[in-house]
């Protein structure tokens, strides 16, 4: 039995969300591969530099957390845990993008839950160290959640 599908997304908002989730997935999976290569080649000093760069220059809550974790756990075991975390989050983002793109009825719910659940962490990070880039990323995530919640509500009213 095949999952029930709506048609592929024709609406610009959904296409933009699919693109955002797809780019995020590719970036996280690429970072996981970079970490695997650096750890395999024994470049823990390079990992420390990467950790500093992630903490200071990127806005994503995951990049900040990854930067802290890499800095604190720049051991082979610790780096492998971070690689797994990035790869899993990249896979979740991939699933979100693919299910929205394919038009499954439950896909907006999946994206809402996956995107809204870490928003409290983002807000806490903004309160601790406010940066325009962090605020911008949080606003994008709020917009994704808000747009899909409104879309779900419209469909329920019909």
pLDDT of residue 35: 80
pLDDT of residue 39: 75
Q: How far apart are CA 135 and CA 112, in angstroms?
A: 19
Supply the pTM of this predicted model: 0.71
10-residue mean pLDDT series, the chain (158 residues)? 55 93 94 82 68 59 59 63 85 95 94 93 90 89 94 84
Beta bridge partners of 104: 5
pLDDT of residue 44: 64
């Amino acid at each position: 039995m095949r999952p029930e599908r709506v048609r592929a997304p024709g609406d610009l908002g959904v296409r933009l969300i699919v693109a955002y989730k797809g780019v995020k997935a590719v970036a996280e999976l690429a970072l996981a591969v970079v970490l695997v290569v650096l750890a395999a080649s024994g470049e823990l000093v390079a990992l420390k530099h990467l950790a500093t760069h992630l903490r200071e220059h990127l806005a994503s809550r995951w990049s900040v957390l990854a930067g802290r974790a890499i800095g604190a756990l720049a051991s082979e075991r610790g780096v492998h845990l971070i690689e797994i975390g990035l790869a899993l989050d990249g896979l979740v983002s991939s699933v979100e993008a693919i299910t929205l793109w394919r038009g499954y009825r439950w896909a907006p719910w999946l994206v809402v839950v996956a995107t809204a659940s870490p928003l409290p962490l983002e807000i806490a990070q903004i309160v601790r160290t406010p940066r325009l880039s962090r605020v911008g990323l949080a606003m994008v995530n709020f917009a994704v959640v808000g747009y899909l919640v409104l879309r779900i509500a419209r469909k329920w009213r019909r």
